[in-house]
Chains A and B, each alone.
Chain A
Amino acid sequence: MTRPPTETGTSDPYLEVEGLVKRYGWKTALAGVSFAVYPGECFLVLGPNGAGKSTLLRLLAGVVRPSAGRIAWFGRDAMPVPLDVRARLGVVMHRTMLDPELSVQENLHYFARLYRVSEAASRIREVVVLLGIEERLHERVRQLSRGYQQRVALARALLHRPSVLLLDEPDTGLDQASRRRLVALVREHCAHGGAVIMTTHAQELGIEVATKAVYLERGRVLWSARDAGELREALAGSASLVAV
């Protein structure tokens, strides 16, 4: 896979979102959200429960279609998300997307075939070592703890070497060691020119990895932070927020 330039903002954005709206019946889950994500960035989406964070990620992944607005992946309109764009996204949602009756290895092998991963066996070995799940490779997913299942879900998302990771509360169920592994993984991904769009309730985790952030409330952007410093100040209750 060719890697894009790594300096933030120096190349075309991976993702541009303009005036994104999502309504479910009378309820507005997202009300006109706009932002851009560049290669090398870790874009954090913060907000309380029901703010629209998961809806935003589901829209970006193409699981649901927006009611209004525009999503452009890699410089192209992406509604619906084309197959070649799907192949460049690694997605972790609330649910693991794994088959509980299959072993870790069988699940990863299944997704490797769906994503046409070349040299699947060696790539599977790489990701299971990266996530520290090599000793559970032959266990069925339903026998694993929530934390282990989450690690397998992360392995699945990384399997096809995606350009962008969409992570919806990826730290769910993870212990401290696994969280540190997640932080390292996100930094490594961004350092190699990939991008990460992540939601989390764990602010300390967000501060460690984020290069940009937005705070959503009731589907609207309440504030945004242009860099890690602004994010720290914002989360600390500082006044130096960017009003949107």
Chain B
Amino acid sequence: MLSQLWAIVQRDLLSEWRAREVVIGMLVMALLTLLVFNFAFDLTGAQRVASGSGAFWVAVVFATLLGFGRATALERQEGAWEGLLLSPVERPVIFLAKLVSMLSFVVVVEAVALVVMAVLFGLPVFRSGVLVVLALGTLGLCTLGTLFSVMTAQAKAREVLLPALLFPLAIPVVISAVRGTVLELSGFSAEAAPWKSLLGGFVVLFFSLSLVTFGAVAEE
């Protein structure tokens, strides 16, 4: 099972390394968003932390959405997705592999975006508390994205359908992540703890639901 999971992840990473069609698009989207927010808001006052956190998560959400759309389209192009579904691989393994692949892409984008955010907004982003919130928020977003990108892949208006389905469900994840990031960046780790717990709860809930429903979602 692990060998199959790793085979899928390796293929996804190698394919993206050669084509560079998903990550480059995500990076451009994330950096443009940060740049626009940097010029749009006053970064000298007390709102710097809130603006920076908001800008960062907007950038991550948009980039993730773009990445899922592109990755799904590429996977369907030559029927590689069908090839995967026809193979004797358990559906939860396919889900986990696709989640790991997408997480890898998003982590690369986030790493660059964090550095840019640190420079543009002058925030201490590389704190352990911030990174924990970032990890949980990213996992929550990617879990939902993996499920819904497969669910909408066959639909005619999938570019519209994916955000329409993903955004409402991702709201609790994004709100918790933004609040957690703001508090961690402000140095209030104790106050950030409930938000991190909430975020963790959503991640566990969405992950469990996705794991169970992915098989049915993937097949038609």
- Residue positions of A touching B, CB distance < 8 A: 61-65, 80, 83-84, 86-87, 89, 91, 93-102, 106, 110-111, 113-116, 140-141, 156
- 16 A-B pairs besides A83-B89, A96-B79 with CB distance below 8 A are A63-B86, A65-B219, A83-B88, A95-B79, A97-B80, A97-B82, A97-B86, A99-B15, A99-B78, A100-B78, A106-B11, A110-B10, A114-B7, A114-B87, A114-B88, A116-B3
Of all A-B residue pairs in the complex, the 8 with the closest CB atoms, nearest first, are A95-B79, A97-B83, A113-B7, A87-B88, A114-B87, A101-B15, A83-B88, A97-B79
**Which residue of chain B has the shortest Cβ distance to A98 in the bound complex?**
B78
Interchain nearest-CB distance for B218 vs A (Å): 10
B130 → chain A closest CB, angstroms: 35
Prevailing SS type, chain A contact patch = loop
Nearest-CB distance from A64 to chain B (Å)? 6
Contacts of B78 in A (CB 8 A): 95-100, 141
- Taking the nearest CB of chain A, how far is it from the CB of B78, in angstroms? 5
Q: List 10 A-B contacts (CB under 8 A).
A: A63-B219, A93-B82, A96-B78, A98-B80, A102-B14, A102-B15, A111-B83, A111-B87, A115-B88, A156-B83
CB closest chain-B residue, reference A110: B11
B93's nearest neighbour on chain A, judged by CB, is A114
A113 contact from B3, B15, B77, B220, Cβ within 8 A: B3
Residues of chain A within 8 A (CB-CB) of B87 are 86, 111, 114-115
B interface majority secondary structure: helix
Could you tell me the distance in whole angstroms from the C-beta of B103 to the nearest C-beta in chain A? 20
A178 to B80, CA, bound (A): 23
Q: How far is the CA of A84 from the CA of B15 in the complex (A)?
A: 28
Which chain B residues in 95-153 approach chain A with CB under 8 Å?
Answer: none
Cα of A61 to Cα of B87 in the assembled complex, Å? 10
Q: Which of B41-94 contact A (CB under 8 A)?
A: 77-80, 82-90
List B residues 1-36 near A (Cβ within 8 Å).
3-4, 7-8, 10-11, 14-15, 18-19
Assuming A64-B219, A95-B79, A98-B78, is B14 touching A106 (CB within 8 A)? yes
A63 touches B82 (CB 8 A): yes
C-alpha spacing A116/B88, complex, angstroms: 9
* CB-CB nearest in chain A for B10: A110
Nearest-CB distance from A228 to chain B (Å)? 29
CB neighbours (8 Å) of A106 from chain B are 11, 14
Interface centre among A65, A96, A97 (most CB of B within 10 A): A97
Contacts of A113 in B (CB 8 A): 3-4, 7
Of listed B18, B79, B87, residue having the most chain A CB within 10 A: B87
A100 to B10: give the CA distance in the assembly, Å: 15
Report the separation of the CA atoms of residues A83 and B4 in the bound assembly, to the nearest whole angstrom: 13
Residues in B neighbouring A140, C-beta threshold 8 A: 18
Q: Are A99 and B80 closer than 8 Å at their CB atoms?
A: yes
Tell whether A114 pairs with B89 under 8 Å between CB atoms, given A64-B219, A65-B220, A97-B83. Answer: yes
Give the residues in chain A near B86, CB-CB below 8 Å: 61-63, 86, 89, 91, 97
Q: Are A114 and B4 in contact (CB under 8 A)?
A: yes
Q: Which residues of B contact A100 (CB under 8 A)?
A: 77-78
A156 to B4, CA, bound (A): 16
A98 neighbours in B (Cβ, 8 Å): 78, 80, 83
B88 touches A110 (CB 8 A): no
CB distance from A99 to the nearest CB of B (A): 5
Q: Which residues of B contact A97 (CB under 8 A)?
A: 78-80, 82-83, 86
